Amino acid sequence: AGGRRPVRYARPTLAARAARVLRDNDTGAVITAAPRLYPHMWSWDAAFISIGLARLDLPRAVAELETLFKAQWRNGMVPHIVFTDDDAYFPGPDRWGTDNAVDGPRNARTSGICQPPVHAIAVQRMLEIARTSSPQDRADAERFARSIWPALYSWHRWLVEYRTPGSSGLVAIVHGWESGMDNSPRWDVPYAAVNPGEELPPYVRKDVRIIGDPSERPTDKEYDRYLWLIEEMRRAGYDQKEIVRSSSFLVGDVFITALFAVSCDVLIELGTEFGQPASQLADLAEWASRAREAVAASCHSVSGMARDRDLRANRWLDTQTIAGFSPLLCGGAPDEVQLRLLSLLDSDRWCGHPDLLAPVPPSVSPMRPGFNPRQYWRGPQWPVVNWLFGWAFERRGWHERARKLREAGLRLTDDGAFGEYYEPFTGEPLGSTDQSWTAAVVLDWLC
């Protein structure tokens, strides 16, 4: 499949280009998620960005996560966007209307929802990197890991206290944006029940003006629903209990739940090393084990794939996407289910599909109806998702699998465009280019 793209950078050049992307996207205050499309700080992007930056400039990496956590809400939520003054993105802070939210932060303007909890993972990875670079980096990273720990704990506690309703044990989301996989077919069924009211204030999208081909982005109909959910939350004054009680979208997200389980494990490791309170370590152990059980309990009896759960309609969501492999991230599923998932991942339905440019798992299987190789979270490959699976496999001791994913990720991204996502067959970069988190994971793979 080689040669379909004109340029393939050698690794040192690729690393230099990735470093330049992070430098160029630095406004001085934050590193934006992407230069034009996303001129603000996104929560999980910032975590990945810090991992990439840790190799280049540890103090800058630390500052990035500190900026994010300065905007943490007083109830513990880490907001999905921390806004800069740039007004090129919609919906901006005025549309979110969080300025007067009771639990909102005082010194930053933010959105009113969250994103996947990968921050503990980032802190631990930064620490690992710093320990191999210099005594100064090591000391700084240790100081940082110790000082950020209570904020990470309260973020995890928020997810349990406010976002684990009912008996499924899954961490629930109240907006598809919280999943990070905005328009994934995972959410089609629950979104079908979201009916934008007449009172939806008018709006103009800005994303489709920036991305030349609007079919790479969610549709207008999807955006109406995204905006309607914000409207509901605004009206509830961003009162979490009320939102979870009444919003028209409430879904147990299995991918977030798996990341939460493994992030709790990581937080326990960090907390043990840095002498954090035993009672909080015990909380984390309990949360991790409940989350893991919830992920295992969601697995389909035939396919083995993990499933989200529509908590409004009280039913499993059977759509098969990359999130179905969540048990591989956190463990805890029976061996037999895990083996089934691993062979499915290797099969021609996923990474082994003969026409892929690089064996990176696509967001949706190319063999599924509804797969769209160009549209956002409905088919393209996402380098960050590949990084997460590689990181988890390494942690689980599956070194050869981790190495293969790293090589595949580098093959996909060696065009040096740092695409937000990639067309799986041609390797064409789609969405934004010079996307910060793509540059960051490439740096981590290369070093």
Residues forming contacts to ligand 2M8 in the complex (CB under 6 A) are: 33, 38, 42, 44-45, 80, 177, 180, 182, 207
Report in angstroms how near the CB of residue 166 gets to ligand 2M8 at its nearest.
Answer: 25
Verify whether residue 400 is a known catalytic residue.
no
Q: What is the length of the chain? A: 447
User: How far from 435 is each of 354, 418, 421, CA to CA, in Å?
Assistant: 28, 6, 9
Comparing every residue's Cβ against ligand 2M8, the nearest one is 180
Q: Are 292 and 330 in contact (CB under 8 A)?
A: yes
Q: Which is nearer to ligand 2M8, 208 or 297 (CB)?
A: 208
C-beta of 234: minimal distance to ligand 2M8 in Å?
Answer: 17
Ranges of H-type helices in 298-423: 326-330, 335-346, 383-395, 399-413
Nearer to ligand 2M8, 162 or 376 (CB): 376
Dihedrals phi, psi of 352, to nearest 5 degrees: -90, 10
Nearer Cβ to ligand 2M8 (96/287): 96
In whole angstroms, the minimum distance from the beta carbon of 151 to ligand 2M8 comes to: 20
DSSP helix/strand/coil, 389: helix
User: Of the listed 57, 66, 142, 182, which one is catalytic?
Assistant: 182
Our CB check for ligand 2M8 shows the closer of 214 and 331 to be 214
How many alpha carbons fall within 13 Å on the CB side of residue 99?
5
**320 vs 348: CA distance, rounded Å:** 15
CA distances for 107 relative to 69, 263, 272, angstroms? 11, 27, 32
**Candidates 283, 415, 420, 434; catalytic one:** 420
CA 151 to chain centre: 19
Which CB atom, from 103 or from 216, has the smaller least distance to ligand 2M8?
216
Specify whether 182 is catalytic.
yes
Q: How far is the CB of 376 from ligand 2M8 (least distance, A)?
A: 7
In angstroms, give the least distance from the CB of 317 to ligand 2M8: 19
Contact 443, 428 (CB under 8 A): no
Q: Which residues are catalytic?
A: 182, 420
